[in-house]
Amino acid sequence: MIKILKLQKALISIIIGVLLLVGYLILRGQKNDSSIYMLEASGVFLMLGAFLFMYPILFARKDSAGCVELDPELDPEADSEEPSPVADEGVRLP
């Protein structure tokens, strides 16, 4: 579902934010003065990820009935369908 709604960038941004937060906690334990920059970068990436998660909802298109269309990248039903084998009469497929 994440791939269909184009939320990969948001997920990557959240992961980077969490990793920077862990880096901040490690540097803070070593009493490093520059650890505050890791905390600031972590906050920026977490806020960016939150905005990117809301982006498809905020800028979705509405149809004539007022329903929201999220404009997915791929149709989920089209990917899962495989062509079914057609058997001739007298030939049985397992």
Task: Determine, yes or no, domain membership for 18.
Answer: no
pLDDT tens profile 66-90: 676 665 554 555 545 555 555 455 5
For the ranges 48-52, 59-63, 66-70, the maximum mean pLDDT occurs at 48-52
**Could you give the CA distance from residue 79 to residue 5 in angstroms, rounded to a whole number?**
14
How many domains are contained in the chain?
Answer: 1
Task: Determine, yes or no, domain membership for 11.
Answer: no
Task: Determine, yes or no, domain membership for 42.
Answer: yes
Task: Determine, yes or no, domain membership for 33.
Answer: yes
Task: Determine, yes or no, domain membership for 61.
Answer: yes
Task: Determine, yes or no, domain membership for 4.
Answer: no
Task: Determine, yes or no, domain membership for 78.
Answer: no
Tokens 């070593």 belong to residue: 30
pLDDT for the residue 93: 54
**Could you give the CA distance from residue 55 to residue 46 in angstroms, rounded to a whole number?**
14
Q: Could you list the residue range(s) of the whole structural domain that residue 67 is in?
A: 26-72
Tokens linked to 57: 């909802």
- Contact yes or no for 18/25 (Cβ under 8 A): no
What does the pLDDT average to over 41-70? 82
pLDDT for the residue 8: 86
Q: pTM surpassing 0.75?
A: no
Task: Determine, yes or no, domain membership for 32.
Answer: yes
